[in-house]
Structure 1
Amino acid sequence: MKNIYIVRHCKADGQQADANLTAVGQEQTKQLIEFFENRQIDAIYSSTYKRAYLSVEPLAKKRGLSIIQDERLTERVFSTIQMDDWMTWFKKGFENPDLVFEGGESGRDAKKRIVQVIEEIIKSDAENIIVASHGNLISMFLQTINEDFDFDDYWRISNPDVFLVTDSEEDQLSYERIWVEKNN
């Protein structure tokens, strides 16, 4: 059975691809090291966005593992244009997987790319894998396991957060939130 730990990045100073971790985010990387201390980790995958990579880099160094960066794990771009009341439209994007705006990506397309990565990981030899990514993309993936995962569930995901995804012998995926937040 595979154990795939889906990790939302630590607190960052922005949403752009090169956003750094905040001072709190840097401290949270230490919490991730502690959290995974007694767990076997065979491989670490990460979004190419700096905040995701930096979130798992200290853990990778401590374990002597390299990080496999994959552009398919980058955050879903909702739109490249400024939108008034974007939160309303963002919520509608959860309700309609085909909704897409200028320069953006539909939820359905975002799901396809993260599912491709997870399917490849499941076929790999590694048994215990960390996948560092972003809130919206993680939400899109969790919806493929539980179609009831919605906009409100998205807002409950913390920075960082950890979901354990397991596959059964019947190739059925399930997940549970296993992160325990600490006050920062």
Structure 2
Amino acid sequence: MEKIYLVRHCKADGQQPKAQLTEEGRQQAQDLIPFFEEYPIDLIMASTYDRAVQTAEPIAASRDLPIHEEKRLTERVFSTLKVDDWLTWMQRGFVEMDLEFEGGESGRAAQARIVEVMNELIERPEEATVVVSHGNLISMFLQTINDQFSFEDWQKMTNPDVFLITRDEATKEFQYERIFTK
């Protein structure tokens, strides 16, 4: 694999696994088709959450490619408890990588699962893959490449957002470039 296009899903009506794209989000997903026209795509992978699959569907249909759903690409869950000041807790989660709340996942654990997927993808024979996932999980991955990627950088992400992921063959280190933002 030479290139991975890491896509944050389009605008959705919630955060639950079954949350659907809004009307605006469905249009955004359609708008990704012309964006990707200039890029070859051999494989499409998405989180199992509906909003990620719905983001991938127009691209997949335009290329006549199946969508491979991957559970390890689902959004990071902070806690199963209702937390009123969740933004403060999320901000702490960018710095305290082992911070874990009841029923939730630490940043380090989230990083481990997305890095595992990305390492597997980069070793595949396909040349270019579109991967549709979620803002916090994508942020956790980008933080493994650039430890300065912060909570504030996460806040600047848009729905959708696209990052080109490559790996330096000499150092085997991932690199990223933001190539699309709403």
TM-score scaled to structure 2, two decimals?
0.97
Aligned to 2:72: 72
- Tell me how far 1:84 sits from its aligned partner: 2.8
- Tell me how far 1:128 sits from its aligned partner: 0.5
Alpha-carbon distance in structure 2 between the residues aligned to 1:70 and 1:50: 12
1:30 corresponds to which letter in structure 2?
A: Q
Once structures 1 and 2 are overlaid, which stretch shifts more, 103-112 or 87-96?
87-96
Runs of 4+ in 1 over 3 A off after TM superposition: none
- Taking only aligned residues, the RMSD between alpha carbons, in angstroms, comes to 0.9
Q: Does 1:176 align with 2:181?
A: no
- Asked if the contact 2:158/2:181 (under 8 Å) is kept, the reply is no
Per-residue CA deviations over 1:33-64 (Å, capped at 9, x if unaligned) read 01001110010110000000000111101101
Per-residue CA deviations over 1:144-165 (Å, capped at 9, x if unaligned) read 1000000000001100000001
- Equivalent position SS for 1:162: strand
Alpha-carbon distance in structure 2 between the residues aligned to 1:179 and 1:157: 10
Q: Does 1:128 align with 2:152?
A: no
Task: Name structure 1 gaps, 5 residues minimum.
Answer: none
- Tell me how far 1:81 sits from its aligned partner: 0.2
The correspondence of residues 1-184 of structure 1 with structure 2, limited to 5 A, is: 2-170=2-170, 171-181=172-182
Per-residue CA deviations over 1:114-144 (Å, capped at 9, x if unaligned) read 0010011011111111110000000000001
TM-score scaled to structure 1, two decimals?
0.96
Task: Name structure 2 gaps, 5 residues minimum.
Answer: none
Alpha-carbon distance in structure 2 between the residues aligned to 1:159 and 1:180: 8
Count matched residues.
Answer: 181
